[in-house]
A = this chain, B = another copy of it.
Amino acid sequence: MFFASDNAGPAHPAVMQALIDANAGFAMPYGKDEIMAQLTQTLRDIFEAPEAAIYLVATGTAANSLALATLCQPFQTIMCSPVAHIHEDECNAPEFYSSGAKLTLVGTGDKISAEALRRAYLAEETRGVHGPQRGPVSITQVTERGQIYSLQELADLTAVAREFGQKAHLDGARFANALVALGCSPADMTWRAGIDVVSFGGTKNGCPGVEAVIFFNPEKAWEFELRRKRGAHLFSKHRYLSAQMAAYLADDLWLNSARKANANCARLLQGLKTVPGFHATPEPQANMIFAHMPRAAHKRLHDAGAVYYLLEGDCHSGPADTPLPCRLVCDWSISPEQIDQFIAIAKG
C-alpha cells in the first residue's frame, strides 16, 4: 500500500519493453537518434503544433529550470505559487539555472489567480532598475495540492503575463492527469490557453525518467539546446530517453495511465469519505488527496505498513480522534485491491 508519491512506482511494462527494443546496435548520440526524430513529429501532432521545438531531459527539475532560464533574464523575477515545486522542492535550481533570478510568490495559496498575478506584476519594478524586473509566470498543472486550473483560468493567467510582456510556462509534471480530468486536447490546455513552454512529464506517469520540454515558438530553441548541454542534461545515449517517451505516447498509454491514476484516486476518495472524521480539502481533482483523518486511522494504516506522508503530528501518540493531515498520491500502477485494503484498514 504505497501512496507516498507517483515518483516511486514502477514504469509501465510497455515502456520497459521499448527500452529493450531500442537497444539494438548503434544509434546516433546526443539527440540525433531516429526515435527522437519520429517522436518530435508525434508530439507536434499531439499538440497540433507543427513548428514546436521539443527536447528531452531526465528530470522534472531539469525541464522546469532549463525552460525558465530560457524565458527569463537574471535580473527578473519569476511569478509562481508559494507551494510551487520550483520554489519548494528544487533546492534553488531555478535560481541556479537562471543565474540568479528571483521567484515572486503570488498569493498565499496553491492556485494563483489572475487578479493576484496582476497585483504581483504591478507591485514589481515601477521604479526603474532598483527592484527585480518582471519575468515569466510558471503555472503548475496539476497543482502541488492536487487542483486543476480550468482552461479559462489558464487563459486568464497567461493574458495577465502577456499584458506585462511576459511569457507563460506550464509545469506539467502531471500533465496527463490534468488533461484527462479536463477532457480537453493538449493544444487547448497549452498554446490555445496562451502557454509558451511546457514541461511535459513522463516520469510520474509510468516512465523511468523522461520529461519533454516543448516550445511552441521555436525562436529560442538553439539557446535551449546550449543551456541543456551546459547544464549536463544532454544524454549521449539519448535513444533511451526517446524510447521511453515514444512508448509513453504510443497507443494512448499516457492517457490511459493517467485515467487509471485518477480513477484510483476517485475510488480511494470515495472509500475514505466513509471513514469517520475524514475530510479532504480541497476537493481532489486528479490523483492526489490532501485530507485529515483521525489519528487512530493513521495508526492502523501505519501499523499495517501503508506508506504515505503524514504532514503533521505523530500517529502513535496523542488522542485517538485528533485529525491529522496527510497526503495520498495514487500511482497508475496501484490495484483496486490495494485501495480497498487501505480503505478497510482506515475504517478500522
Contact = CB atoms under 8 A, between A and B. Distances in A.
Interface of A: 2, 4-5, 7-11, 13, 16, 19-20, 23-30, 57-62, 65-66, 73-77, 88-93, 95-103, 105, 128-133, 203-204, 208-209, 223, 225-237, 240, 307, 331
Contact of A102 (B25, B95, B227): B95
A265 to B, nearest CB: 16
A25 B307 CA distance: 13
Copies of this chain, whole number: 4
* Best-surrounded residue of A8, A60, A103 (most CB of chain B within 10 A): A8
Contact of A90 (B8, B58, B61, B232): B232
Given A2-B26, A23-B16, A234 B99 contact: no
B7 A24 contact: no
Nearest to A235: B209
13 contacts: A11-B240, A16-B19, A23-B208, A26-B331, A74-B96, A75-B226, A76-B92, A90-B130, A92-B230, A96-B100, A96-B231, A105-B105, A129-B226
A174 B9 CA distance: 33
A235 B60 CA distance: 9
A7 B203 contact: no
Contacts of A28: 8
A74 B92 contact: yes
Given A208-B237, A225-B129, A227-B75, A29 B16 contact: no
A16 B226 CA distance: 30
Contacts of A105: 105
A240 B99 contact: no
Given A23-B16, A101-B95, A234 B59 contact: yes
A132 B100 contact: no
Contacts of A60: 236
A132 B93 CA distance: 9
Given A16-B20, A96-B231, A100-B95, A236 B7 contact: yes
Given A13-B23, A88-B131, 18 more contacts: A8-B237, A23-B208, A30-B128, A58-B235, A59-B232, A61-B229, A62-B232, A62-B233, A76-B92, A91-B131, A92-B132, A93-B229, A95-B101, A96-B230, A98-B100, A133-B226, A203-B236, A204-B236
